[in-house]
Chains A and B, each alone.
Chain A
Amino acid sequence: MTTRVLVPSGVLGLGFDEDALWRGVALCPDIIAIDGGSTDSGPASLGTGTSKYSRASTKSEWRSLMKARAKANVPLVIGTCGTAGTNSNVDWMFEITRELASELGQQLKVARLYSEQPQGRIVQALHDGRLKPLDPAPEVDPGTIEKMTHIVALAGAEQINEALATGADIILAGRTTDTAIIAARALFNGDHPGGAWHGAKIGECGALCSTHPTSGVIFIEFDDTGFRVTPLADKARCTPYSVSAHMLYENADPMRLYEPGGYLDVSAARYRQIDERSVRVEGAEWTPNPAYCVKLEGAKPAGFQTTLLAVVRDPHYVKNAEIWAGKLTDFLNNEITHRLQIARTDYVLDLRLMGVNSVLGAREVQQGTPNEVGVLCIVTAQSQEEASEIAKLINPFLLHYPLTEEEELPTFAFPYSPAHSERGAIFEFALNHVLDLDHPMDAFQITVNEI
């Protein structure tokens, strides 16, 4: 049978074309599916369990989608709520949904699919040999697992379909694969599994698979042999090139995609323009795995940071910036050891020269003489107090450190006062592993509420 999925955008918080959304509603979708996060912005969201998007912008977009859902009278599913898909992210989204339901006068059944993993389960899995490293994987032992502030498992289509089976109007899912929320209903309906996963991968970033990437809204129709994808913004078109090229995006292997329960192979896929703006795709293959596993993500604390920024404009110092920064770093490390009595292994001092090589570091191959050089000084230590103590020790030297002893003390530009900024706790990704499960729901929970 045919399954029609309306995808409003690549992620909630990025905006979408409102007219196109309503055009999608008029096409009678079976489900509305949108992603709510990714690891793309780094480990902080997972480490803290907080959203990187503004609450107000999230709420305003979710309001449109809740109205569209009410009109279409079909389930609305969001995957990876609140950026990282932790339990706190899901509950944050639940609160927003509850506020909107009351403001819009909607009575709803809401299912929350939780993906967060207790440390004990992962320690036990390590012990039982059910925790398996991907390539490359950080070293993991019970101690490192116990340090992690949040661990999430990426739900697949199976868990989304369990949540849909509750009959909920809205499903707020914790961490899921980007594709699972789009593929789930098609797989449940018995559509072509290769087509379901392939169409989901093509649609996961909304209109990024079209000629107008920022327009957001797309419509995917799945059936027995493949899928058809259509962008719904006014001038947007899908072409065989725009669609097939999306397999490259944020994907290490453009032909294979691993999901819980199996993998997708698109090497035999055929892309065909079927009207001015739609593309039809067939030929992808899905191979189920004998065992069921889900990918894990975890974040652990990596200290506290305080930063300083100075700008060097003196041409003599601009020209010799790297020599100056090297000498200053050595000098500061010595001062920190002797005056603050902090061991070299307990902090990281990193001076990045903006305008020279702050992005590529030692890999930079291009040389030139900029007008000015920004000196971003990042201090990472065991506590915020210690990081700021180090930054305050650095402050006068970052302002006045001379290139040689013979020259007059320079004064560089500090763009603000105080010169240091506390960045709080920082985190690192600490897992690149899969977890073997006997049953897909073993690591997930569903809670249903009427609101």
Chain B
Amino acid sequence: MMKLRDIVDKIRSKNAGPFWVTVDLFCESTAQYEALKDQLDIKAVAHLVQISPVSIKRFDLDDLKVVKISFPRPIVQGHTLDRDQHGAQFAHLLGALPLTDST
């Protein structure tokens, strides 16, 4: 099955302050970007990250061919149980998101 990382050029995630994480999905071609917009399902993202879909903000940035997803950190940065201070590994988790082919 196709994964999110197979259809985008680059995935990056990082804290946006200690309480939020933001994930940027970069595409090189318009075709890639259109496919991404079409196939990215926020409910599937929420399931993978184990958070509520209503807490996720999504931005489709046509000029940059980027889809940006931001959500509150499931565990606040630096909490005893936090495993990744900078939130940069969410990119790898989301890269493994299975895609359902809508065609």
Q: Is A380 an interface residue (CB 8 A)?
A: yes
A378-409 Cβ-contact flags toward B at 8 Å (1 or 0): 10100000000000000000000000000000
B47-67 Cβ-contact flags toward A at 8 Å (1 or 0): 011100000010101011010
B78 near A241 (CB under 8 angstroms)? Answer: no
B78 near A44 (CB under 8 angstroms)? Answer: yes
A302 to B79, CA, bound (A): 8
A356-375 Cβ-contact flags toward B at 8 Å (1 or 0): 00111111111000000000
- B residues 35-94 touching A (CB-CB < 8 Å): 48-50, 57, 59, 61, 63-64, 66, 68, 70, 72, 76-81, 83-86, 89, 92-93
A363 near B93 (CB under 8 angstroms)? Answer: yes
Interface residues of B: mostly helix, strand, loop or mixed?
loop
Total contacting residues, chain B, CB less than 8 A: 35
Residue of B nearest to A255 (CB): B59
- A residues 400-451 touching B (CB-CB < 8 Å): 426-429, 432
Residues from chain B with Cβ under 8 Å of A427 in the complex = 78
A378 to B81, CA, bound (A): 10
The listed residue (A138, A254, A426) touching B80 by CB distance below 8 A is: A426
Q: Is A251 an interface residue (CB 8 A)?
A: yes
A327-364 Cβ-contact flags toward B at 8 Å (1 or 0): 00000000000000000000010101000001111111
A362 near B50 (CB under 8 angstroms)? Answer: yes
The listed residue (A241, A366, A429) touching B18 by CB distance below 8 A is: A429
Residues from chain B with Cβ under 8 Å of A432 in the complex = 17-19
A250 near B14 (CB under 8 angstroms)? Answer: yes
B18 near A248 (CB under 8 angstroms)? Answer: no
Q: Is A244 an interface residue (CB 8 A)?
A: yes
Residues from chain B with Cβ under 8 Å of A44 in the complex = 78
Residues from chain A with Cβ under 8 Å of B50 in the complex = 362-363
A136 near B80 (CB under 8 angstroms)? Answer: no
Residue of A nearest to B21 (CB): A252
Which of the candidate stretches A34-42, A144-152, A317-325 sits at the interface with the other chain?
A34-42
Q: A248-B64, A251-B22 are in contact. Are A303 and B80 (CB under 8 A)?
A: yes
A252 near B96 (CB under 8 angstroms)? Answer: no
B81 near A428 (CB under 8 angstroms)? Answer: no
Residue of B nearest to A302 (CB): B80
Q: Is A234 an interface residue (CB 8 A)?
A: no
A245 to B24, CA, bound (A): 10
Hey, which bits of chain A sit against chain B, CB under 8 A?
39-44, 134-138, 241, 244-245, 248-255, 302-303, 348, 350, 352, 358-366, 378, 380, 426-429, 432
